[in-house]
Amino acid sequence: MASIVSRAKRALLPWIAAGVTVLAPATGHAAPSQTFLRDLGQVVGQMLASYSREAGAPLQVLTFDTGDATVRGFLRATSNHSADELLAMQAYDQMKVARAVGGVSESIELPTCVIFYDSSRSDLLDGYVRSGAFDYVEALHYLAAHEFGHCMEWHQSRRGAGSTFRDVRASERLADLVALTYFATNGNWSGATRILDLNAKVSSAKPGDPHSNVSELRAALEQLQATPKRRGAMPSTMFGVYQVAADLQRRISSNLKD
Ligand SMILES: [Zn+2]
């Protein structure tokens, strides 16, 4: 038992945690969308487990397939979110879930982030993987960290620890800062640089788009690179990643104008 406890205490980030069974397709190839949805659920589940160690309040995260007509109907009925987005996060203050505990069915309500992905379309993965921007595992972790970043922002702000979603641009920037910090924390500096490259493409193609934040992301990457390489200098859980990203967001927005 002791070894299990000490392993859990190390609180490794999902990327390097034991038990990641994502099977990466060959470089330059996207996995089928159904595979991506399953892998996304698994990686986000690990991010949630890491975050929940320190988050201070319960949270659940679900992944739904908007390629399914029933799910699309649910999304239209419960939110003003477009069901046509390829990947989106919608937060619900309380969602009732029934679960079986020790053979007994019980029903509880939990704050919930639902990540919607349309597995009937391949555009998203085509954009991230076939373009060569990322390999499959990186695209998976980038998209998971970005969407889970939105979820953590919502979850922390509903607990009174920040503002949320009033400023779409600030939210998109924070979600990318979470992804950037997550890559840096995992030691994938080349992947972190490619997050910048990707954002630079968005910024030059659609300058006013809320996802285009390349100058802020560049400043953040420089600050992350300047972090001392000693043990404990970088965060070791998703909550820690969120705190570093939120701190970068505060520091950068006071230095740079939009
Ligand atoms: Zn986003």
Residue 82 exposed, middle or buried by CB count within 10 Å (0-12, 13-18, 19+): exposed
Q: Show the tokens assigned to 101.
A: 């505990």
Residue 111 per-residue DSSP state: E
H/E stretch holding 242 reads helix 238-255
- Distance (angstroms) between ligand 1 centre and the Cα of 231 equals 31
- 9 Cα to the center of ligand 1, angstroms: 31
Residue with tokens 């934040």: 213
Question: Residue 28's pLDDT is what?
Answer: 53
Contact residues for 121 (Cβ-Cβ < 8 A; gap 6+): 33, 67, 86
Domain span at residue 153 reads 2-255
Residue 4 CA to ligand 1 center (angstroms) comes to: 35
Beta bridge mates, 60: 112
Q: How far is the CA of 250 from the centre of ligand 1 (A)?
A: 18
C-alpha 146 to ligand 1 mean position (Å): 6
For residue 148, how far is its CA from the centre of ligand 1 (angstroms)?
A: 9
In angstroms, what is the span from residue 240 Cα to ligand 1's centroid?
Answer: 20
C-beta of residue 43 within 8 angstroms of C-beta of residue 143: no
**Cβ(241)–Cβ(182) below 8 Å:** yes
| 43 Cα–ligand 1 center, Å | 17
CA 119 to ligand 1 center in whole angstroms: 18
CA of residue 233 to ligand 1 center, whole Å: 27
Q: What is the pLDDT along the chain (258 residues), one digit of tens a residue?
A: 333 333 333 334 545 443 344 455 555 555 667 788 888 999 999 999 999 999 989 999 999 998 888 888 888 888 776 666 788 888 888 888 777 778 888 888 999 999 999 888 877 777 787 778 888 888 999 999 999 999 999 999 987 755 555 688 889 999 999 999 999 998 899 999 999 998 888 778 887 888 888 999 999 999 999 987 776 778 889 999 999 999 999 998 777 554
Check: CB of residue 171 under 8 Å from CB of residue 157. Answer: no
Number of structural domains the chain divides into: 1
Question: How far is the centre of ligand 1, averaged over its atoms, from the C-alpha of 108 (Å)?
Answer: 28
Q: Are 24 and 135 in contact (CB under 8 A)?
A: yes
The two tokens of residue 127 are 């954009």
Q: In angstroms, what is the C-alpha Rg of the chain?
A: 18
CA of 225 to the centre of ligand 1 (A): 24
Asked if residue 29 lies in contact with residue 130, where contact means CB atoms within 8 angstroms, the answer is yes
